[in-house]
């Protein structure tokens, strides 16, 4: 299955997004589709053997919407388009208001005997009713022109049997205008009493208010995606490339892998690469959220859009264009913002039926009042109020706006959440399992003790072990190699090498079979450890990992390796426990060593001696206890457990495989970002629930009031103008509430 994101223009409410979603879903070869109103994007999974992307785009166009450019060069174009849209909406609102205020004034003042500024006698409706009616027509026409899209889009959707919010406005205001035109005709015929049944101001003010709501909504929606705009704006436009000894300034899109790039102090790193010359410190806050600059030397990695602070460096480009870390982050955040959380499902279902149901309710309310003896004017007021107060926009925006702001805020703090589902699930977590090495600890262990049996020299043991581990990528093996390098030892040639996952390695050096690994490896090979058992137990109790070395089937010694616990580990674990979350640690280390580390950071539950392939089984066991489990890891061997867990969190300093398998990626290695991610999830879901409560509550309460339920019990009748004001501000309030998430503070 292929994935494609299509930008869609012309959607005005949740009914529109539902309509597009249903139309695409009906196509053969479509396995999954999600249309997001807030981001104006359709995320589609399809079978390229059955259907082409062009056919999906044609479907969108046939449904009555536009397909917008969505390639990487369309970012500025999209920004300009949205700014133009906001400007157009404000212009239309100003025009509608300029004519709407005098229209409302002339319509209402004759009814207010106490008002100190009466209208001119020549326009008095009782004396000159036709002149009064024609004045209102002349004022309402420019307003209708300003809001013409409500009619073109609304009636088109109605004809295609997929009515939307524009349809409600179009039907309501058209009803008011047609009724007013009929009464104007009656005035021409001599029935001057019909002047009291003109509703031009109702139609005019409704359009003006809804244009105001649309303008405010467009501005607010623009603010929800500020995080992604900031990220996109970080990348520099040019790079200084060294070619044939000369410095050439090239556009960023012309830089190729392997190019040598020069970056001076104060300049931005243009693409990802590896430092060849120079020393400097680089501000990587755009990637990690960490404000402290990071020192860089030859061999270190640098990332696009980070800022070179003080030294001049030359580096080799390793990733360009869409492959850079920044581009990957932008794509990840965009995908997350375009995704839907499961909590949105009810709103989606309601949105699909909302507008047709409202139209039916408005008609029922109209007929009920008219058939029970109320006047046509009264019944029409009810009809218009019900149509105009209903707001599918609030329902459609409740979830995606909060997800956009929440995922954007996460990105600002170096927390990349891969989708709405991950964001929602994270707040339900009841247990967290931390991998030990590289997650709770720094992942850069050092040799602390070298203990030998009688007859074996210390230096020989270290030299043989380091020679064997030279081909290993395990952190403990690398520590032994570093230990030998510090003592300037020469490595011996290795004749055979075999890695035994979860156990250690088997090598042949100078025709001697050497085993280096944990207790499991020695037990498997029937090698007795009794000679150094007391020493081994003591090392484990000190939190050190004993690595056993055996030559030709006999124990030769122990090389103890210790990994330093990260500064933030104990604080993060304490914070999680205060949030009511059970914390466990999982490791391949022996139980005594694991418990010593766990004690340092305040963890009670330890899962020790766990082979890499068994980590996912341990997660399953916790899930079987009824817990919602989060796994936090950084290595390739953590990937199956990250996938098995309800939420997988990868530490940013870890492997690409771990990051690919995870639902949330922490760009820093600071474990305080784990409680921050869960806190962000809780804050976002709380915000979504508030939005949904407001959206549902507003419509559930507003429609009956508009239908005249208060009037039935002696209360007031809702004026359509107030109904329009309520509709205009309902969606604005939902977006504004989502924007409150911008005040979210990360745990420090």
Q: Stretch 620-625: mean pLDDT, rounded?
A: 92
Q: What share of the chain has pLDDT > 90, as a percent? A: 36
Distance, CA of 242 to CA of 257 (rounded, Å): 13
Rounded Cα distance, 326 and 268, in Å: 13
> Which residue is listed with tokens 């700014």?
83
CA distance 399 to 407: 12
Q: Judge whether residue 207 has pLDDT over 60.
A: yes
How far apart, in whole angstroms, are the C-alpha atoms of residue 732 and residue 216? 6
Q: What is the mean pLDDT of residues 195-217?
A: 86
Contact (CB, 8 A) for 578 and 453: no
What is the model's pLDDT at position 70?
62
Cα distances from 678 to residues 317, 420, 425, 575, 579, in angstroms, run 36, 13, 9, 11, 10
Q: Quick one: what percent of the chain has pLDDT higher than 70?
A: 94
| pLDDT given at position 18 | 85
Beta bridge partners of 397: none
- Note the pLDDT tens digit of each residue in 480-502: 999 999 999 999 999 889 888 87
CA atoms of 242 and 278, how far apart (whole Å): 15
Average pLDDT, integer, range 442-455: 87
Q: Tell me the CA distances in angstroms from 318 to 281, 321, 586, one per residue in order.
A: 20, 11, 34
What pLDDT, on the 0 to 100 scale, is given for residue 78? 67
The reported pLDDT for the residue numbered 343 is 78
Longest Cα–Cα distance in the chain: 125
Which residues face 512 on adjacent strands?
Answer: 509
Q: Is residue 241's pLDDT more than 90?
A: yes
Q: What confidence score (pLDDT) does residue 466 get?
A: 93
- In sequence order, what are the residues at sequence separation of 6 or more whose Cβ sits closer than 8 angstroms to the Cβ of residue 216? 728, 729, 732
Confidence band, pLDDT 50/70/90 cuts, at residue 460: very high
> What value does the mean pLDDT take over residues 709-714?
90
Taking all residues of the chain, what is their mean pLDDT, rounded to a whole number? 86
**How do residues 249-305 score in pLDDT, each as one tens digit?**
998 888 999 999 999 998 999 999 999 999 999 888 767 666 678 888 899 889 888
pLDDT of residue 290: 63
Q: What pLDDT is recorded for position 30?
A: 93
The confidence band for 98, taking pLDDT boundaries of 50, 70 and 90, is very high
pLDDT tens profile 393-437: 777 778 888 888 888 888 888 888 888 888 888 999 999 999 887
d(CA 90, CA 727) in angstroms, rounded, equals 18
The pLDDT assigned to 602 comes to 93
**Token pair of 586 as six digits:** 């999982």
Question: Measured between alpha carbons, how far is 262 from 308 in angstroms, rounded to an integer?
Answer: 11
Q: Which of 672, 679, 656, 638 is nearest to 433 (CA)?
A: 638
638 is catalytic: no
The pLDDT value given to residue 659: 66
Q: Of 187, 183, 182, 156, which Cα lies nearest the Cα of 170?
A: 156
* Tokens 């009748």 found at: 717
Exactly one of 435, 634, 646, 663 is catalytic; name it: 435
Cα–Cα nearest to 224, from 391, 35, 411, 91: 411
Distances (CA, A) of 381 to 199, 355, 521, 721: 9, 19, 84, 10
Query: How far apart are the C-alpha atoms of 435 and 627, rounded to whole Å?
Result: 18
DSSP code for 438: I
Check residues 288 and 209 and name the one with the higher pLDDT: 209
Which residue, chain included where needed, has tokens 């070298």? Answer: 450
Q: Which residue has the tokens 């509703």?
A: 199
Q: Given this model, what pLDDT does residue 653 score?
A: 60
Check whether 508 has a pLDDT greater than 70.
yes
Cβ-in-10-Å burial (0-12, 13-18, 19+) of 568 comes to: buried
Place of tokens 């300029």: 98
Q: Which of 586, 633, 579, 628 is nearest to 611 (CA)?
A: 586
pLDDT in tens, 569-581: 999 999 999 999 9
Render the burial of 29-56: b for 16+ CB within 10 Å, e for the rest.
bbeebbbbbbbbbbbbebeeeebeeeeb
Q: Is residue 93 scored above 70 in pLDDT? A: yes
What b-and-e string marks burial along 455-487, b requiring 16 or more CB atoms within 10 Å of the CB?
Answer: ebeeeebbbbbbbbbbebebbbbbbbbebbeee
Q: How is residue 145 written in tokens?
A: 């022109």
Asked if residues 55 and 39 have their Cβ atoms less than 8 Å apart, the reply is no
Is the whole model's pTM more than 0.85, yes or no?
no
- Residue closest to 575 by CA, chosen among 595, 594, 602, 600: 602
> In the predicted model, is pLDDT for residue 106 greater than 80?
yes
Predicted confidence at residue 108, as pLDDT, reads 81
Q: What is the pLDDT of residues 648-684, one digit of tens each?
A: 998 876 556 666 778 888 888 789 999 999 999 999 9
């Amino acid at each position: 299955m292929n994935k494609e994101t299509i930008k869609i223009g012309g959607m005005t409410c949740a009914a529109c997004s539902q309509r597009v979603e249903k139309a695409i879903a009906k196509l053969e070869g479509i396995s999954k589709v999600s249309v997001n109103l807030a981001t104006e994007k359709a995320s589609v999974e399809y079978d390229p053997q059955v259907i082409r992307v062009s056919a999906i785009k044609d479907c969108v166009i046939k449904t009555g919407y536009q397909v917008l450019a969505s390639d990487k060069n369309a970012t500025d174009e999209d920004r300009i388009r949205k700014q133009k849209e906001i400007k157009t909406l404000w212009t239309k609102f100003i025009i509608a208001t300029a004519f709407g205020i005098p229209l409302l004034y002339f319509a209402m003042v004759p009814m207010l005997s106490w008002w100190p500024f009466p209208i001119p006698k020549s326009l008095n409706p009782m004396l000159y009713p036709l002149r009064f009616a024609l004045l209102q027509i002349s004022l309402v026409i420019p307003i209708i022109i300003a809001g013409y899209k409500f009619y073109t889009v609304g009636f088109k959707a109605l004809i295609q049997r997929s009515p939307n919010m524009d349809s409600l406005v179009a039907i309501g205001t058209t009803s008011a205008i047609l009724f007013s035109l009929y009464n104007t005709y009656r005035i021409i015929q001599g029935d001057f009493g019909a002047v009291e049944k003109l509703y031009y101001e109702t139609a005019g003010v409704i359009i003006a208010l809804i244009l105001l709501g649309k303008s405010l909504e467009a501005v607010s929606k623009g603010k929800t995606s500020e995080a992604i705009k900031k990220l996109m704006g970080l990348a520099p436009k040019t790079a200084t490339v060294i070619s044939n000894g000369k410095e050439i300034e090239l556009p960023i899109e012309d830089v190729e892998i392997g190019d040598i790039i020069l970056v001076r102090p104060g300049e931005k790193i243009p693409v990802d690469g590896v430092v060849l010359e120079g020393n400097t410190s680089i501000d990587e806050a755009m990637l990690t959220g960490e404000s402290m600059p990071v020192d860089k030397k030859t061999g270190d990695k640098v990332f696009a859009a980070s800022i070179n602070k003080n030294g001049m460096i030359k580096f080799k480009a390793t990733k360009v264009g869409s492959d850079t870390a920044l581009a990957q982050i932008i794509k990840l955040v965009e995908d997350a913002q375009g995704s839907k959380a499961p909590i949105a499902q009810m709103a989606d279902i309601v949105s699909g039926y909302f507008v047709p149901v409202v139209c039916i309710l408005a008609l029922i309310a109209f007929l009920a009042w008219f058939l029970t003896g109320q006047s046509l004017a009264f019944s029409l007021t009810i009809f218009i109020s019900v149509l105009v107060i209903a707001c599918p926009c609030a329902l459609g925006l409740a979830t995606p706006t909060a997800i956009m702001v929440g995922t954007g805020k996460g990105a600002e703090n170096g927390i990349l959440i891969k989708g709405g589902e991950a964001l929602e699930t994270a707040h339900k977590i009841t247990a967290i399992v931390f991998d030990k090495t590289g997650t709770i600890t720094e992942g850069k262990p050092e040799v602390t003790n070298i203990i030998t049996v009688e007859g074996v020299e210390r230096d020989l043991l270290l030299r043989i072990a380091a020679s064997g581990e030279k081909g290993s990528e395990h952190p403990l093996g690398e520590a032994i190699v570093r230990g030998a390098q510090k003592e300037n030892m020469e490595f011996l040639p290795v004749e055979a090498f075999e890695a035994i996952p979860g156990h250690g390695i088997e090598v042949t050096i100078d025709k001697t079979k050497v085993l280096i690994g944990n207790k499991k490896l020695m037990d498997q090979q029937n090698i007795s450890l009794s000679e150094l058992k007391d020493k081994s137990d003591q090392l484990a109790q000190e939190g050190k990992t004993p690595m056993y070395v055996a030559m030709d089937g006999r124990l030769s010694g122990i090389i103890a390796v210790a990994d330093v616990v990260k500064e933030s580990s104990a604080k993060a674990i304490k914070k999680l426990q205060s949030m009511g979350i059970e914390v466990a640690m999982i490791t391949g280390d022996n139980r005594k060593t694991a418990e010593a580390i766990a004690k340092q950071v305040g963890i009670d539950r330890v899962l020790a001696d766990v082979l890499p392939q068994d980590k996912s089984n341990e997660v399953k066991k916790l899930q079987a206890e009824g817990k919602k489990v989060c796994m936090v890891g950084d290595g390739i061997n953590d990937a199956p457990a990250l996938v098995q867990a309800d939420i997988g969190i990868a530490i940013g300093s870890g492997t690409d495989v771990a990051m690919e398998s995870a639902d949330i990626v922490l760009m820093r290695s600071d474990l305080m970002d784990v409680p921050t991610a869960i806190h962000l999830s809780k804050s976002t879901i709380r915000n979504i629930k508030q939005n949904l409560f407001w959206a549902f509550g507003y419509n559930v309460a507003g429609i009956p009031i508009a239908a005249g339920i208060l009037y039935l019990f002696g209360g007031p009748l809702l004026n359509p103008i107030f109904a329009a004001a309520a509709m205009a501000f309902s969606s604005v309030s939902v977006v504004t509430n989502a924007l409150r998430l911008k005040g979210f503070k990360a745990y420090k």
